[in-house]
Amino acid sequence: MPTALLVENLVSPMTIAFLLGVLASLMRSDLEIPEPVIRIISIYLLFAIGLQGGRELADVTLSEIAAGLSVVAVLIVLLPLLSFLVARRVMKLSVPDATGVAALYGSVSSVTFLVARTYADSMGTPMDGYVIGLVALLELAILVALFIGRWSIARNAVSAMPLSGLLLETLRGRGLLLIGGGMLMGATIGDTNFDRIEPFFVDMFRGVLVLFILEMGMAAARHLRSFGAVAGRMAVFGVAMPLFNGLLASGLATVAGLSVGSAAVIGTVAASASYIDAPAAVRATFPEANPAIWLTASLGITFPFMMLAGVPLVYLFAKMWAGM
């Protein structure tokens, strides 16, 4: 069964697009997607996620999502805290670098979420629509990670911005703004108005996602070359920590009563690592942190691992917890 799931993921368009991007970078191909185009694609994907989530949230009540909200509240604190402690005490990283690790591994990867959602659909266990909103809330883990780092160097916090400024800076990030704004729009415009934009934001969604993953493959290969002295430690962390997080989160979601598909998606995003919003927040708050450590681990180790094996493995965790 695990082998069949892995093969299924390996032949998906998204996985093949990622591998093609890695190959193009390693071959020093002149294949390139201009940065402005990548920004547009990123904006499109984040906004589309929000719109679809808002449309689903419009049809549910607070009582229906209360269990999921409780799981997310625990994960927002637990994921960055565990990542920080491991990075600081086990891998002996500096506070700024441990904070970078906590921010990226406490937060979520939008692309990995999309892959997990597609995978759950393909297995006949689609997630509940409101899970999109729960995933958006997990971005708040960035705030928790930065607070942990700031608190850890409170005696020498000259370079750290005030907590109020930190909160505002994170809330102004494009990820939260686009997903949150999209959710608000999707929840208020109604089905008739949504039908008018559905061909662009739903039908084209997966095709645009494949292009974005192609670029992520090229970026991952570029970062992998400069891993440096911490390569061994971060390689182990970049696989072991996601597996632990995925096992923990899918278990919590299952105990809370979520379906297999929903538990698998939440477990997968908990196992993922951010490489879009969190790095910007870390650089703004801890400019001395070395992105070659935490960003390379996210893009060069965890992202390809999740694309190739992590998604089906976390799905298996969710089925295991559900006793299926």
Under 8 Å between Cβ of 147 and 165: no
pLDDT tens digits, 84-139: 999 999 988 888 889 989 999 998 887 888 889 988 988 899 998 888 878 877 87
The pLDDT of 32-40, averaged and rounded, is 87
pLDDT at 316: 94
Higher pLDDT, 166 or 300: 300
The winner for highest mean pLDDT among 6-15, 219-228, 276-285 is 276-285
Lowest mean pLDDT among 80-84, 100-104, 208-212, 239-243: 208-212
pLDDT at 286: 79
pLDDT at 244: 96
Mutual angle of helices 13-26 and 205-224, in 10-degree steps: 40
Amino acid making up residue 146: L
How far apart are the C-alpha atoms of 8 and 90, rounded to whole Å? Answer: 35
Grade residue 1 by pLDDT with cuts at 50, 70 and 90: very low
Percent of the chain whose predicted confidence (pLDDT) is above 70: 85
Higher pLDDT, 89 or 280: 89
Amino acid making up residue 10: L
Higher pLDDT, 219 or 67: 67
Lowest mean pLDDT among 169-178, 266-275, 312-321: 169-178
pLDDT at 200: 93
DSSP 127: P
Torsion, Cα of 214, 215, 221, 225 (10° steps): 170
pLDDT at 191: 83
CA atoms within a 13 Å half-sphere pointing along the CA-CB vector of 68: 29
Q: Fold for domain 2-322?
A: Na+/H+ antiporter like fold (1.20.1530)
For the chain, the domains span: 2-322
* pLDDT of 226 higher than 60: no
From the list 105, 131, 301, 140, the residue with the least C-alpha distance to 221 is: 301
Average pLDDT of the residues of the chain: 83
* pLDDT of 220 higher than 90: no
Under 8 Å between Cβ of 115 and 14: yes
Grade residue 196 by pLDDT with cuts at 50, 70 and 90: very high
